[in-house]
């Protein structure tokens, strides 16, 4: 049984708390490793060490910090296969999905190579007579990221890259369900030239999270996870005077207009609804066809596509569509919600219950499910399922479809499929959701834009990656400067008259 470690001061360090969590192989259901759960004292020591290391790192010029980011990009490309295999082994997602996970984090490191430009302040000459005014962006000090299991490479990199490029020290508390890749990333950062102590990876549970929330040295916290935990971290962190950004749950709707290319829409729903076993905050979990004819034709196209989906372990090769979910508890929760949908009157068009993978009967595999005639009062509509379950809610008009997405408590992502530019433009303008796709099912912005949801999907004023990340991880100092002019006579300045 492998025993994992923390990463402290540039090396792997065994946990001292005596507490551990199981790390499963989702394909087999077996425990493959133990991960230590840090105590409050361990967290405090790691944070104090990071605070000492940050002083020199914060004084390092941005160009040199950008070169470390560039080195990291090269190392991520070099070790892509190794990282993807480790990620798939703990999370369960396919190798292509795992490589995508790493790639989207790598792209944020690419963006952060431009730290010298992104950290430039502003300058005004002669703001007043003989007065210049300028601003500069300076690091906060020690900051932290608390990241989820479903993207164990991407989200930690979304947090650490801009934080480190800005001159901060960074405390990463990854998910204890998939801890190996974050530790591997820390070792690569050291190889890239990051000084020891500037990045600490501390595994843990609620005790570690509360230690971060309550530690006076931590200046900012970024979180991705469920909405209840996001609200907890946001409220407690803000109460302790920290800068906090938290991203929570989602229930992403995709509206299919009568004029849409239904083959294109069906293909999009297969990838967006069932890819990565639905364990994505940007997954499409609600299809909203407009008109019964559109709905009937869409269901007709979806069913054979869903029935052809290949479910299996990542070791089965690249033709697998999705793998197991992350834990037995996650599987049980998905099955409970599916049964609730049946009990509450939704039509289960494709029934994935009872799915078993031959040779992997104890794995956490969930078959694909498709519901039709779902209503807004059903649990499968109100709750984020985080599994391979697609719900169809029929709307009779565009306005009714728009209202469904706008009235839902979550506002992470949404999409519309249509051939009509006026409809698409109206949708993009009016929808109260943070990320919008037009004939694009999963509208995740690229690294040089910003990622973030609205309503109960996001808490805080600034989003992830893009220019917002550098604003979040720095604070602005504004300097007003006047240098007296004149001739020195008798030990005193005689100032020229200033108009």
Give me the catalytic one of 112, 238, 246, 281: 281
Written as six digits, the tokens of 249 are: 């749950």
Q: Are strands 169-173 and 199-201 parallel, antiparallel or unpaired?
A: parallel
Burial class (CB in 10 A: 0-12, 13-18, 19+), 186: buried
Question: CA 96 from chain center: how many Å?
Answer: 18
444 close to 282: Cβ distance less than 8 angstroms: yes
Among the listed residues 193, 181, 197, 178, the one whose alpha carbon sits nearest the alpha carbon of residue 105:
181
Among the listed residues 326, 300, 321, 325, the one whose alpha carbon sits nearest the alpha carbon of residue 311:
321
Question: If you search the block for the tokens 């808490």, which residue do you land on?
Answer: 459
Separation CA 57–CA 52 (nearest Å)? 9
Q: List every span in the chain annotated with CATH 3.40.309.10.
A: 252-438
Q: What pLDDT, on the 0 to 100 scale, is given for residue 2?
A: 92
- CATH ID of 2-248+457-479, from 3.10.180.10, 3.30.9.10, 3.40.50.720, 3.40.605.10: 3.40.605.10
- Non-local CB neighbours of 358 within 8 Å, separated by 6+ positions: none
Q: List every span in the chain annotated with CATH 3.40.605.10.
A: 2-248+457-479
- The whole-model pTM stands at 0.93
Q: Is 112 one of the annotated active-site residues of the chain?
A: no
Among the listed residues 275, 248, 227, 257, the one whose alpha carbon sits nearest the alpha carbon of residue 94:
275
Tell me the mean pLDDT per 10 residues along the chain, length 499. 95 97 96 97 98 98 97 98 97 96 97 95 90 95 97 97 98 97 98 98 97 98 96 97 96 98 98 96 96 98 97 91 96 98 98 92 97 98 97 98 97 97 97 96 91 94 92 96 68 46
Among the listed residues 401, 335, 331, the one whose alpha carbon sits nearest the alpha carbon of residue 364:
331
Q: What pLDDT, on the 0 to 100 scale, is given for residue 497?
A: 42
Written as six digits, the tokens of 323 are: 């793998």
Written as six digits, the tokens of 151 are: 């993207």
Among the listed residues 119, 222, 131, the one whose alpha carbon sits nearest the alpha carbon of residue 170:
222
- CATH ID of 252-438, from 3.30.565.10, 1.20.1250.20, 3.40.309.10, 2.60.120.10: 3.40.309.10
Q: What pLDDT, on the 0 to 100 scale, is given for residue 499?
A: 41
370 close to 350: Cβ distance less than 8 angstroms: yes
Q: What pLDDT, on the 0 to 100 scale, is given for residue 486?
A: 57
Q: What pLDDT, on the 0 to 100 scale, is given for residue 63?
A: 96
């Amino acid at each position: 049984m492998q025993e994992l470690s923390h990463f402290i001061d540039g090396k792997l360090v065994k946990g001292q708390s005596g507490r551990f969590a199981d790390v499963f192989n989702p394909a087999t259901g077996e425990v493959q490793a133990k991960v230590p759960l840090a105590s409050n004292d361990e967290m405090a020591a790691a944070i104090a060490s990071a605070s000492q290391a940050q002083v020199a790192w914060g004084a390092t010029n941005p160009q040199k910090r950008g070169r470390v980011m560039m080195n990291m990009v090269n190392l991520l490309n070099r070790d892509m296969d190794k990282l993807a295999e480790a990620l798939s082994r703990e999370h369960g997602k396919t190798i292509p999905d795992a490589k995508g996970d790493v790639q989207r984090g790598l792209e944020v490191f690419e963006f952060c190579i431009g730290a010298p430009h992104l950290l430039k302040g502003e300058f005004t000459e002669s703001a007043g007579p003989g007065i210049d005014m300028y601003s500069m962006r300076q690091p906060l000090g020690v900051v932290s990221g608390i990241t989820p299991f479903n993207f164990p490479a991407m989200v930690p990199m979304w947090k650490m890259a801009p934080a480190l490029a800005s001159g901060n020290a960074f405390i990463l508390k990854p998910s204890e369900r998939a801890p190996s890749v974050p530790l591997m990333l820390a070792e690569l950062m050291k190889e890239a030239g990051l000084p020891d102590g500037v990045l600490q990876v501390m595994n843990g549970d609620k005790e570690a999270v509360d230690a971060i929330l309550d530690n006076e040295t931590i200046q900012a916290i970024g979180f991705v996870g469920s909405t209840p935990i996001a609200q907890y971290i946001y409220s407690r962190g803000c109460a302790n005077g920290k800068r906090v950004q938290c991203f929570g749950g989602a229930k992403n709707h995709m509206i299919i207009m009568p004029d849409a290319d239904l083959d294109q829409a069906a293909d999009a729903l297969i990838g967006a609804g069932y890819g990565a076993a639905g364990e994505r905050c940007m997954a499409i979990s609600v299809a909203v066809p407009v008109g019964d004819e559109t709905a009937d034709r869409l269901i007709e196209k979806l069913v054979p596509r869903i029935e052809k989906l290949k479910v299996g372990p990542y070791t089965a090769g690249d033709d697998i569509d999705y793998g197991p979910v992350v834990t037995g508890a996650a599987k049980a929760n998905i099955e409970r919600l599916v049964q609730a949908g049946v009990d509450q009157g939704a039509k289960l068009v494709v029934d994935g219950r009872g799915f078993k993978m031959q040779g992997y009967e104890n794995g956490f595999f969930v078959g694909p499910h498709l519901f039709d005639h779902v209503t807004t009062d059903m649990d499968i509509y109100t709750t984020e399922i985080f599994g391979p379950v697609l719900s169809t809610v029929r709307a009779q008009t565009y306005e009714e479809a728009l209202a469904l997405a706008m009235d839902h408590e979550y506002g992470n992502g949404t999409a519309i499929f249509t051939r009509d530019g006026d409809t698409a433009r109206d949708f993009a303008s009016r929808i109260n959701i943070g990320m919008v796709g037009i004939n694009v099912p999963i509208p995740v912005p690229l690294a040089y834009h910003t990622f973030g949801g609205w309503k109960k999907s996001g808490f805080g004023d600034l989003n992830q990656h893009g220019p917002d990340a550098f604003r979040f991880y720095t604070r602005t100092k504004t300097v007003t400067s006047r240098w007296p002019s004149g001739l020195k006579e008798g030990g005193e300045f005689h100032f020229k008259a200033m108009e």
